[in-house]
Structure 1
Amino acid sequence: MKYATVQDMVDRFGERELIQLTAGAGAVAVDAAKLERMLADAQAHIDGYVGKVFALPLVGCVKPAPTPQAPTATVLVPPPQLVRFACDVARYYLYDQASPEHEVFVRFKAAQRDLEAIADGKAVLACPWGGEPGLQISAAAPGEGEVMHSFARREITNDSIAGYR
């Protein structure tokens, strides 16, 4: 599942800006291939954080999508937070340089902080329609979260090292 699409980027930041960032001056259309690469890079960046909490790939949120033929139909969509994070991170990747006070950099850092909070368990990745976006990884069972180690205490005394030179 893709967290964000080219259309999501156009809806958030406008076609004019994306044409300038992907295709350059004088172009009349967004370079969709370049934008897709940036979105894929952004998704990989996000997965590095989300993967600490959820098994990847995410299943997605079950969103109602009724039609006259199927009034109870649903679709799987990424959590809305991830759409925003992916768009902000991809946009940041498109900028060659963004000073710390630039809006693009500020949005990237905000997404970064939110992703760190999700990875650390201080925030949740939520589905507004209910349910979970994927299978949560349990840190309580060894092998699925933290690796557990157990070592016996060792004391070094004159008696224990007798015979070694």
Structure 2
Amino acid sequence: MDIALRPVHGSDLPVFFRHMSDPESLHLAAFTAEDPHDRDAFDAHWKRNLASDAVHRTILAEGDVVGHVAVYGDPGEREVTYWIDRYFWGRGIATAALRGLLAEVRERPLHARVALDNAGSRRVLEKCGFRETGRDSGYANARGAQTEEAVLVLDA
């Protein structure tokens, strides 16, 4: 499958909103917006994201928008994040997209967090060289409960 990254276009946002409103995806991601169905909050969030120094990329598979990947945050504490349309899970797209972003953003260390029961996402991070450095717990909006997460880092 041909995977490509490109800058986020405004026309990608409705697709991202649909991806990020999927109940199964929300549960696995766990740490999501307070109300993932609030389109105004979603649009405001993306307006801030795209105006920041974060690196956001749209993920294309065979030319179709299937998700997004980003590096964001303060220097020395920057994190990676990604979201793939559930229909495309298990096809190596997240791994390919994250590898592509890591080749573009050479800054290290980079950090990541993943709910402990999200084995697929954790595997993506590990395939890309991230290693667990600790555990944390926080309130997960998508689950309405405290949720444990792994804290990972990608060193130089």
TM-score of the aligned structures, taking structure 1 as reference length: 0.25
More strand by proportion, 1 or 2?
2
Bigger Rg over Cα:
1
